[in-house]
C-alpha cells in the first residue's frame, strides 16, 4: 500500500478543519443565515458594533456555537493523539484512551456533581473540577495497582485499567439508578456518552493548553515510541528504557485524557479509530502519525458534534452515539482490508 505524502495531507486536513469549524458555527437549529454568521464572526474578531436587534443571534454564534466548535476540535485532537500513544504504550491494537480507566474514574466525579450536588460551591466549574479530580485519583489508583517489581508492564496496565474501569462504571450506575430526579439521570447519561453542550470560552484555554502540551511532548518522543512499539527488548537495545518511558507516557496520556474528558464527557472511538486510519495513510512511523492524527481527530469530532445537534433538532444526541455509529462500521471495514496490521503494513 502506498503512503500518502504527509505535507499535502496536513495542509488538506488543516483547510478541512477550518471549513469544518465554519460549518460547526453556521449550522444549527436556530436558522441564522450564513451572511449573518460571517458578519458576527468578523464583528467578534475585530470588536465591531452589533445592532440591538442582532444581540440574540450574535450571542448564539459567538458565545455558544463558536466555543463549542473550537472545544470539539481540541477534544478530538487530544483524544486522537493520546490514542496513538496508548496503543504504542501497551502494544495493543484495541487500546484507546479509556483502556486506562481514566474516563470511568472521571465519570464518578462528574456524576457526583450531577446526581448528588457535590461541589456546588464551585458553580459552573463544579463538573469539570470534580471530573478532573476523580480522573487523577483513578490514574493514581491504576498506577499503584499495576506497578510491580518488574515495572509498569503492558499486560498489567491493560488488565488493571480494564478491571478498575468496570468498578468505576458500577459505582456510576449505582448513582444513576439511585437518582431522585429523572432529569438528573438523563443529564448523567448524556455526560457518560459525551456531550459538548456545556462548552464555554472559559473551558477552552485549559483544555487546549493541556492537549497542546501533551501532543508536543509525544511528538518529541516519537522515535522512542517507534522503538517501544517493537517490544521492550528492542527498545532497550536501541537505548530507550521501556519502563521509564511507559511511566512518562502513562502520566501524559492520563493528564490529557482527564482534562478533555472533564469538559466533554466520555466520547469513545476517536482514540481507537483515528490512529488506525492515519497509519493506513502515512505508515506506522510515529513521527508521521502524531502530526496527522490530531488534525483528523479534530475534524471527526467537529462533524460528530454538528450531527449530534442537527439529527434530532432541537433536541441533541450524545456525541458518543455519533462517533460509535460512524466508528463501528468504519473500524470493521479497516480491519477487513488486506495488507494492514497494527504497527506496520
In angstroms, the CA 107 to CA 262 distance is 9
The CATH homologous superfamily for domain 81-335 is ABC transporter involved in vitamin B12 uptake, BtuC (1.10.3470.10)
Contact 40, 58 (CB under 8 A): yes
In angstroms, the CA 106 to CA 265 distance is 8
- Residue-wise pLDDT tens digits, 260-288: 888 888 888 898 889 988 988 898 899 99
- Residue-wise pLDDT tens digits, 299-317: 999 999 999 998 887 888 8
Please tell me which of 90-94, 204-208, 333-337 the model is most confident about, judged by mean pLDDT.
204-208
Please tell me which of 101-115, 141-155, 209-223 the model is most confident about, judged by mean pLDDT.
209-223
Q: What is the pLDDT of residue 81?
A: 94
For the cut 50, the answer to whether the pLDDT of residue 39 exceeds it is yes
Q: What is the pLDDT of residue 71?
A: 95
Boundaries of every domain in the chain: 81-335
For the cut 60, the answer to whether the pLDDT of residue 340 exceeds it is no
Per-residue CA distances from 130 to 139, 141, 168, 188 (Å): 14, 16, 14, 14
In angstroms, the CA 159 to CA 142 distance is 10
For the cut 90, the answer to whether the pLDDT of residue 23 exceeds it is yes
pTM as predicted: 0.88
Q: What is the pLDDT of residue 180?
A: 63
> Residue 112: which pLDDT band, with cuts at 50, 70 and 90?
confident
Beta partners for 344? Answer: 341
> Residue 298: which pLDDT band, with cuts at 50, 70 and 90?
very high
Q: How much is the average pLDDT of 65-92?
A: 92
- Residue-wise pLDDT tens digits, 160-188: 888 988 898 888 888 877 766 666 777 77
In angstroms, the CA 302 to CA 300 distance is 6
Amino acid at each position: 500500500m502506498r503512503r500518502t505524502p504527509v505535507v499535502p495531507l496536513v495542509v488538506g486536513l488543516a483547510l478541512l478543519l477550518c471549513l469544518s469549524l465554519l460549518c460547526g458555527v453556521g449550522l444549527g437549529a436556530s436558522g441564522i443565515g450564513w451572511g449573518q454568521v460571517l458578519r458576527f464572526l468578523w464583528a467578534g474578531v475585530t470588536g465591531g458594533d452589533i445592532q440591538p436587534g442582532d444581540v440574540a443571534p450574535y450571542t448564539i454564534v459567538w458565545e455558544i456555537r463558536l466555543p463549542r466548535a473550537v472545544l470539539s476540535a481540541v477534544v478530538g485532537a487530544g483524544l486522537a493523539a493520546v490514542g496513538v500513544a496508548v496503543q504504542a504504550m501497551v502494544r495493543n491494537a484495541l487500546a484507546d484512551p479509556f483502556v486506562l480507566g481514566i474516563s470511568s474514574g472521571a465519570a464518578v466525579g462528574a456524576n457526583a456533581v450531577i446526581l448528588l450536588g457535590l461541589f456546588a460551591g464551585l458553580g459552573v466549574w463544579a463538573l469539570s473540577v470534580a471530573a478532573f479530580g476523580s480522573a487523577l485519583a483513578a490514574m493514581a489508583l491504576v498506577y499503584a495497582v499495576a506497578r510491580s517489581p518488574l515495572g509498569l508492564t503492558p499486560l498489567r496496565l491493560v488488565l488493571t485499567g480494564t478491571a478498575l474501569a468496570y468498578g468505576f462504571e458500577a459505582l456510576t450506575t449505582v448513582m444513576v439508578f439511585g437518582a431522585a430526579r429523572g432529569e438528573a439521570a438523563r443529564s448523567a447519561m448524556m455526560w457518560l456518552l459525551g456531550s459538548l453542550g456545556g462548552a464555554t470560552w472559559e473551558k477552552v484555554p485549559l483544555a487546549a493548553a493541556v492537549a497542546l502540551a501533551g501532543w508536543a511532548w509525544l511528538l518529541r518522543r516519537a522515535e522512542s515510541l517507534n522503538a517501544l512499539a517493537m517490544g521492550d527488548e528492542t527498545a532497550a537495545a536501541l537505548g530507550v528504557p521501556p519502563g521509564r518511558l511507559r511511566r512518562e507516557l502513562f502520566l501524559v496520556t492520563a493528564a490529557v485524557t482527564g482534562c478533555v474528558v472533564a469538559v466533554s464527557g466520555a466520547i469513545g472511538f476517536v482514540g481507537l479509530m483515528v490512529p488506525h486510519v492515519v497509519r493506513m495513510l502515512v505508515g506506522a512511523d510515529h513521527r508521521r502519525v502524531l502530526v496527522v492524527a490530531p488534525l483528523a481527530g479534530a475534524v471527526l469530532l467537529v462533524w460528530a458534534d454538528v450531527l449530534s445537534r442537527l439529527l434530532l433538532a432541537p433536541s441533541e444526541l450524545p456525541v458518543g452515539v455519533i462517533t460509535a455509529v460512524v466508528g463501528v462500521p468504519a473500524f470493521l471495514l479497516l480491519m477487513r482490508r488486506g495488507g494492514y496490521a497494527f504497527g506496520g503494513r
